[in-house]
Chains A and B, each alone.
Chain A
Amino acid sequence: MKKIQAGVIAALALVLSFTLSACGGGSDTIKIAYQGPLSGGEAQTGIDEQNAVKFAIELYNATNPEKKIELVSADDQGDGTVAAGVAPGIANDESIVAVVGPAYSGATIASLPYYKEAGMPMISPSATKVSLTDPAVAGEFGGPVFHRIPATDKIQGPALGKLAVSGVAAPKVFVVDDQTAYSVGLVEYLLPSLPKASLVGTDSTKNDTADFAPTVAKIKAKGANVVIYTGYYSQAAVLVKQLRDAGYKGIFAGGDGVLNSEFAVLAGAAAEGARLTGATVPLGELSPELAAKFKESQGVEPGVYAAESFDAANIIIEAIKAGNTTRATILAYIKTVAYVGVGGQTISFDANGDSTLGFINGFLVKDGKVVSTGAVK
Chain B
Amino acid sequence: MFSTLIDQFWSLTLSGIALGFIYVLISLGYTMVYGVLRMINFANSEIFMFGTFATIVISRDFLGNVDGTKSLPLPKLILTITLCLLGSMLVSGLVAVFVELVAYRRLRARGTNKLATLISAIGISIVLSEFMRIITNSRPTLNPRVLEKKSLFEIAGASFRMDTVLTIIFAAVLFVVLDRFVKFSRLGRAIRAVSMNEDASKLMGVDLNKVISATFLIGGLMSGAAAFFYTLTYENTKFNVGFTLGLAAFTAAVIGGIGNIRGAFFGGLSLGLVEVYASSILGTEWKSVTVFIILVLVLVLKPNGIFGEAVQQTRA
Contact = CB atoms under 8 A, between A and B. Distances in A.
B106 interface: no
A39 to B, nearest CB: 4
A41 B238 CA distance: 8
Interface string B17-40: 001000000000000000000000
Interface string A30-55: 00000000011101100000000000
A277 to B, nearest CB: 23
Contact of A217 (B8, B240, B283): B8
Given A204-B284, A204-B285, A217-B8, A210 B137 contact: no
B123 interface: no
Nearest to B139: A43
Contact of A210 (B3, B144, B244): B244
B145 A41 contact: no
Contact of A245 (B149, B279, B285): B149
Which 6 A-B pairs rank lowest in CB-CB distance, beginning with the nearest? Answer: A214-B279, A213-B15, A217-B8, A39-B138, A221-B7, A245-B149
B3 to A, nearest CB: 6
Contacts of B245: 210
Nearest to B70: A269
A119 interface: no
A211 B69 contact: no
Contacts of B4: 217-218, 221-222
B138 A213 contact: no
Given A203-B283, A217-B4, A245-B149, A265 B142 contact: yes
B61 to A, nearest CB: 17
A152 interface: no
Interface string B236-266: 1010110111000000000000000000000
B16 to A, nearest CB: 8
Contact of B12 (A209, A214, A245, A266): A214
Given A179-B285, A210-B234, A245-B149, A41 B140 contact: yes
Nearest to A42: B139
Given A211-B15, A211-B234, A220 B8 contact: yes
Nearest to A213: B15
B12 A217 contact: yes
A205 B284 contact: yes
A47 to B, nearest CB: 10
A221 B230 CA distance: 25
A237 B285 CA distance: 20
Contacts of A208: 240, 243-244
Nearest to B240: A208
Nearest to B18: A213
Interface string B121-150: 000000000000100011110101100010
Interface string B272-304: 000110011001110110000000000000000
B235 interface: yes
A234 interface: yes
Contacts of B287: 214
Contacts of B3: 221
Interface of B: 3-4, 7-8, 11-12, 15-16, 19, 68-69, 133, 137-140, 142, 144-145, 149, 151, 159, 161, 230, 234-236, 238, 240-241, 243-245, 275-276, 279-280, 283-285, 287-288
Contacts of A205: 284-285
Contact of A77 (B69, B138, B243, B275): B138
B103 to A, nearest CB: 21
Interface in A217-253: 217-218, 220-222, 234, 237-238, 241, 245-247
Interface residues of A, number: 34
A215 interface: yes
A268 interface: yes
Contacts of B7: 221
Contacts of A220: 8, 11
A234 B280 CA distance: 23
Contacts of B69: 268-269
A208 to B, nearest CB: 6
A223 to B, nearest CB: 10
Contact of A266 (B230, B236, B241, B275): B236
Residue in B4, B241, B280, B288 whose Cβ sees the most chain A Cβ within 10 Å: B4
B279 A215 contact: yes
A327 B5 CA distance: 57
A213 B283 CA distance: 12
Contact of A209 (B230, B236, B284): B284
Given A210-B245, A217-B4, A268 B68 contact: yes
Contact of B241 (A210, A217, A218): A210
A238 B140 CA distance: 11
Contacts of B140: 41, 234, 266
A241 B275 CA distance: 20
B19 A213 contact: yes
A243 to B, nearest CB: 11
A266 B238 CA distance: 13
Interface string A57-85: 00000000000000000000100000000
A300 B221 CA distance: 42
Contacts of A77: 138
Given A41-B140, A206-B285, 20 more contacts: A40-B138, A40-B139, A77-B138, A179-B285, A203-B283, A204-B283, A208-B244, A210-B234, A211-B19, A214-B12, A214-B276, A214-B284, A214-B287, A215-B284, A217-B8, A217-B15, A217-B276, A234-B140, A245-B161, A266-B142
